[in-house]
Structure 1
Amino acid sequence: MTNYSTQLTTLNIATRQSPLALWQAEHIKARLEQLYPDLQVNLVTMVTKGDKILDTPLAKIGGKGLFVKELEQALFDKRADIAVHSLKDVPMQLPKGLTLGAYCQRAAPTDAFVSNQYASLEALPKGAVLGTSSLRRQCQIKAYRPDLQIQSLRGNVGTRLSKLDAGEYDAIILATSGLQRMGLDERIRSELDVYISLPAVGQGALAIECRAGDEAVLSLLAPLNDDPSRICLIAERALNKHLQGGCQVPIAAYATLDEQKIELWLRGRVGSEDGQTLLKAERTIVLTGTQVEQEAQAERIGIEVAEDLLNQGADKILAAIYAAKQ
């Protein structure tokens, strides 16, 4: 007996073909099949523009939104019913007609230090070469270790690890959650403290995109929502949206929820690429009322932290970065 209102017999999931994206899609497929044994779930695999252009930093070719556009087109064309994303890759403004139908329980949000020679960021010698594709990581690590050489690193998880193993870098920084999902925990030498490298908006969380108004699909996805994660992620995305930030700019935001006190703590940062300037702001709020009211409060705190950063000059830092991309 199925427990969703409109009888769906099949559900198609749009996914990139990278190993991590396939793991994420398979993970959601397995959860849906467990919830709805009568439902046939299929993967619709595709290669995105972000997967094809590997020789240019993301910031110069349009940011991480390049990883989702083809998947969104599959939703519009009805070749797929849902798309599974790493939330940190999802632009703040969704195309009209699409919505995030589920925020799944967040995994580790931290950045992982990976090296074959050194145990931690602190252990790297002066002048060591550190690889990352993220301006957010770059600006925060440069602020902490200005003596390091930070070089661009693109490709899927396996490609990046291969470049490290080939000796192109002394160390690289990857998302902890991605390595753990791929069963590569042993490659993590240490996790960066959020004091050093505050995570990206949505890092560690999976989100499921679908057509707005598709009540059958939205009903089916409802059990995959994790309310505490959702509250935190709404706050982080509200901050980024108010800063008019894309996915590939030096903006960091990390929210945590004390479920006993129902207290939300949001920290935000904006930094210059050279690490010379690193702006910080934070707020806490005790959430009250219904879930809808709490989500509105989470959105409001995101805007307040963004306003604090703007008052410190975040708009000038971001404008300079956007101008450099032209």
Structure 2
Amino acid sequence: MGTKPLRIGTRGSALALAQAHETRARLMQAHALPEEAFEIVVIKTSGDQIQDRPLSEVGGKGLFTKEIEEAMLDGRIDLAVHSSKDMPTVLPEGLILSAFLPREDVRDAFISPKAKRLQDLPQGAVVGSSSLRRQAMIKRLRPDIDVVMYRGNVQTRLRKLEEGVVDATLLAYAGLKRLGLSEVVTSLLEPEEFLPAVGQGAICIESRENDGETLRLLAAIHDPVTQIRLDAERAFLAVLDGSCRTPIGGLALLDGEKISFRGTVLKPDGSEVHSVERQGAVAEAAVIGREAGEALKAMAGPGFLTD
């Protein structure tokens, strides 16, 4: 490394900062470097500023990455740390996903002072969620409860829950673990009945394609297993939509040299659901994800993804 610190770009939420700090700690350990060899640069994104309406109405996932990617293309930062589930499937020219950290638990966490599980909530209970996938899956399992839009960072959502704004909420268990908040979880939703978002629980690192020195540093902390799983999941998402406008779940699992993939797409009100499963060789991860997406698209029929 040169004399200048490596600049790590991130959003400013507590979770985003925890992910940036984890990345820095792994780089420090891998290369025996001091903390001052790195600078964490906080960048405010459009997604952080828009709190009053669903992101699907104002541009989807790119709202959490656009300003950070501009800073990287301008040379103001050297790499960016993201939640993989926030990443659009198409990146700006010149930027690549250059590393994935080992994936955390992929499950969704149910949090409520009123019931032990989602199934146990009383009729007419109010559940807050900003995720179209979670909203649709909740409505599918419990059409008798009210699901409301619920934006804000993890701490804001937990505070609103404490204040009684809603009776329950769902959050990614991985994020709660990274924030040291596992104790707030009431119960966990298993992927068999509640498929996670594509990339849930995985931290990805984006950098410039031609920045050889940064790519060399990142190679030491890259987890190839997470990348293989994400190759399948992101290929699946790219076929279907890739933005935030459709409730989509997808999860790839590895068993030796085999990969298995499950994907699902729902109507926003949970009234209709289509699911697909595929297995194959690890080397075919992206092909398997793409084929699963095409199969689901054919199953759902024209209009399902655009209604």
TM-score (norm: length of structure 1): 0.91
Task: Indicate the SS of the match to 2:120.
Answer: coil
Q: Does 1:237 align with 2:234?
A: yes
Change (3 A) 1:231 1:255: same
1:311 matched residue in structure 2: 298
Deviation at 1:158, TM superposition (A): 0.4
In structure 2, which of residues 272, 281, 302 is the aligned counterpart of residue 277 of structure 1? 272
| Aligned AA (1:44) | V
Task: Indicate the SS of the match to 1:319.
Answer: coil
1:47 matched residue in structure 2: 44
Q: Does 1:111 align with 2:80?
A: no
Q: Is the 8 A contact 2:246 2:266 kept in 1?
A: no
Aligned counterparts of 2:285 and 2:32: Cα–Cα separation in 1: 35
| Aligned AA (2:15) | L
Aligned counterparts of 2:4 and 2:32: Cα–Cα separation in 1: 10
| Aligned AA (2:295) | D
1:145 matched residue in structure 2: 142
Q: Which moved more, 1:64-73 or 1:158-167?
A: 64-73
Q: Does 1:36 align with 2:31?
A: yes
Aligned counterparts of 1:257 and 1:161: Cα–Cα separation in 2: 33
2:22 matched residue in structure 1: 27
| Aligned AA (1:253) | G
1:166 matched residue in structure 2: 163
Aligned counterparts of 2:220 and 2:272: Cα–Cα separation in 1: 42
Aligned counterparts of 1:228 and 1:109: Cα–Cα separation in 2: 14
Aligned counterparts of 1:192 and 1:314: Cα–Cα separation in 2: 29
Aligned counterparts of 1:165 and 1:314: Cα–Cα separation in 2: 42
Q: Which runs of 5+ in 1 are unaligned?
A: 1-5, 288-293, 321-326
- Identity across the alignment (%): 45
Change (3 A) 1:45 1:146: same
Aligned counterparts of 1:251 and 1:315: Cα–Cα separation in 2: 16
Task: Indicate the SS of the match to 2:235.
Answer: helix
2:77 matched residue in structure 1: 80
Equivalence map 1:286-297=2 (5 Å): 286-287=281-282, 294=283, 297=284
Aligned counterparts of 1:270 and 1:72: Cα–Cα separation in 2: 29
Q: Is the 8 A contact 2:101 2:221 kept in 1?
A: yes
Aligned counterparts of 1:248 and 1:157: Cα–Cα separation in 2: 22
2:178 matched residue in structure 1: 181
Equivalence map 1:240-279=2 (5 Å): 240-259=237-256, 262-279=257-274
In structure 2, which of residues 184, 190, 195 is the aligned counterpart of residue 193 of structure 1? 190
2:289 matched residue in structure 1: 302
Deviation at 1:286, TM superposition (A): 3.0
| Aligned AA (2:291) | E
Task: Indicate the SS of the match to 1:122.
Answer: helix
| Aligned AA (2:125) | A
Q: Is the 8 A contact 2:132 2:244 kept in 1?
A: no
Q: Is the 8 A contact 1:105 1:226 kept in 2?
A: yes
Aligned counterparts of 1:203 and 1:8: Cα–Cα separation in 2: 36
Q: Give the CA RMSD over aligned residues.
A: 1.3
2:203 matched residue in structure 1: 206
Task: Indicate the SS of the match to 1:275.
Answer: coil
Change (3 A) 1:223 1:247: farther
**Residues 247-290 of structure 1, C-alpha deviations (whole Å, 9 max, x = no match):** 4531111000012xx11010000100110101100101133xxx
Task: Indicate the SS of the match to 2:192.
Answer: coil
Task: Indicate the SS of the match to 1:267.
Answer: strand
Deviation at 1:173, TM superposition (A): 0.5
Q: Is the 8 A contact 1:12 1:82 kept in 2?
A: yes
1:131 matched residue in structure 2: 128
Deviation at 1:46, TM superposition (A): 1.7
Change (3 A) 1:252 1:319: same
Aligned counterparts of 2:44 and 2:21: Cα–Cα separation in 1: 17
Q: Is the 8 A contact 2:27 2:33 kept in 1?
A: no
**Residues 208-246 of structure 1, C-alpha deviations (whole Å, 9 max, x = no match):** 000012111111101221111111110000000011331
Change (3 A) 1:237 1:60: same
Deviation at 1:59, TM superposition (A): 1.2
Aligned counterparts of 2:73 and 2:242: Cα–Cα separation in 1: 25
